[in-house]
Amino acid sequence: MDTVFILTVLIVIGALAFDFINGFHDTANSIATSVSTKALRPRQAIMLAAVMNFVGAMTFTGVAKTITKDIVDPFTLQNGSLVILGALIAAIAWNLITWYYGIPSSSSHALIGSIAGAAIASAGFGGLNYSGFLKILQALILSPILAFGVGFIVYSIFKIVFKNANLTKTNRNFRYMQIATAALQSYSHGTNDAQKAMGIITMALITNGYVTSTDIPFWVQVSCAIAMGLGTSVGGWKIIKTVGGKIMKIRPINGVAADLTGAAVIFGASALHVPVSTTHVISSGILGVGSAHRIKGVKWDTAQRMLVTWVITLPITALLAAFSYFILNLFF
C-alpha cells in the first residue's frame, strides 16, 4: 500500500484522537463553574457541553485555516507527513500526562509547540512561517491577560449592580443563569478548539497532494466536530475539580461573570481567526473574577502551578515533537 496514503490515514486518526482527548481534557474548563456551584449536575453539564461543542465546531472554520497555513507553509513543508504525525504524537502525549495529574494545561499550546518543534527538526528554523507563528503566539499570550482584565471588570460591575440585592435570591437566579452561560461558553469552545484538528488534517491533505486549497473539506469539519463532541461526553473530572474549586470558592454570581468573560474572549478570537487557549482564557477569567471579589480568596498556589505548566508546555512539546519526528524518520 502507498506509504503516503498510510501516513495520511494515520494523521487523520491521530488528529481525531487529539480532538477526542481535547474534548474531555478541555470540557472541564467550560462547565467547571456550573458544576462547582451545583447549577448543573455533572452528567447534565457534560452532555450540554458535548452538544454545544459540536454545534460550535460546525459553525466556524477560520481558526482551522490559520492552523493550516500560519505556523508552517503546507505547500512547501519538507517531510510534511512525518512532521504532522510527530506533532500529533507529542501533543497527545502531553495532553494525557497533564490530564492524568489534573493540571489544566493548554491543548492549543501543546499542538502549536509540537508543530513548531517537528518542523524545526525537519527543516531547521527556516521551516517556520514566522509572521503567522508570531501572530498566534501574540494571541496565546494576550488572551489570558485580556480575560483576567475582563473578568475583573465584569465582576466589579456585578458587585455594584447587586450590592443591595438579597444574597439568597440573587444566587438562586444566577444559578439558573449559569445553565445558559455554561452552554454559551461550551459553544465558544467548539468554535475555537475543534478547529485545530481540522487545520491539522487539511494541512496533511495539502502536503500529500489530496487537496490544493486551504478550504476545510466538509467531511473534515463533521468528523472533527463529532470527535470533540464524543470526547466532551466522556468528561474530565480531575480538571473540573481544579478549575471549579481549587482556584477560588465559586458562587453562582462568580460563575456567571467567569463564563461570560471566557465566552466573550474566545468568541472574539474565533471572529479574528486566531487560535487561543481556552484553558488559559477560562482559568484567567476566574482569577480576574476572584481578584475582584476578594483577592485573598484566590488560591494563588494553584494559579502558580497552572502558570508554570502553561510556560513549559511550548518548549516541552516542541522537544517531544522533534524526538517523535526523528523516531518516525527511522521507519518511513
Tens digits of residue pLDDT in 9-22: 999 999 999 999 88
Report how far residue 62's alpha carbon sits from residue 194's, in angstroms, rounded to the nearest whole number: 11
273 three-class SS = coil
pLDDT at 244: 45
Report how far residue 24's alpha carbon sits from residue 228's, in angstroms, rounded to the nearest whole number: 8
Grid cell of 179 as nine digits: 445553565
Report the amino acid identity of residue 76.
Answer: T
Full-model pTM: 0.88
Name the residue among 138, 114, 102 with its Cα closest to residue 15.
114
* Signed CA dihedral, 62, 68, 71, 76: sign only: negative
pLDDT at 237: 56
Q: Are 123 and 78 in contact (CB under 8 A)?
A: yes
Collect all residues with Cβ–Cβ distance below 8 Å to 283 and sequence separation of at least 6. 29, 104, 144, 243, 247, 303, 306
- The C-alpha cell 503566539 sits at 137
pLDDT at 104: 62
- The C-alpha cell 514566522 sits at 130
Q: Are 278 and 242 in contact (CB under 8 A)?
A: no
Q: Are 189 and 278 in contact (CB under 8 A)?
A: yes
Rounded to 5°, the CA angle 23-20-36 comes to: 25
Collect all residues with Cβ–Cβ distance below 8 Å to 110 and sequence separation of at least 6. 90, 91, 94, 95, 313, 317
Domain count, the chain: 1
| DSSP letter (8 states) at residue 217 | P
pLDDT at 132: 92
pLDDT at 72: 93
pLDDT at 326: 95
Domain housing 168 = 3-331
Q: Are 54 and 239 in contact (CB under 8 A)?
A: no
Q: Are 56 and 194 in contact (CB under 8 A)?
A: yes
Residues of the chain with pLDDT under 70: 1, 26-28, 104, 235-249, 302
Residues belonging to the chain: 332
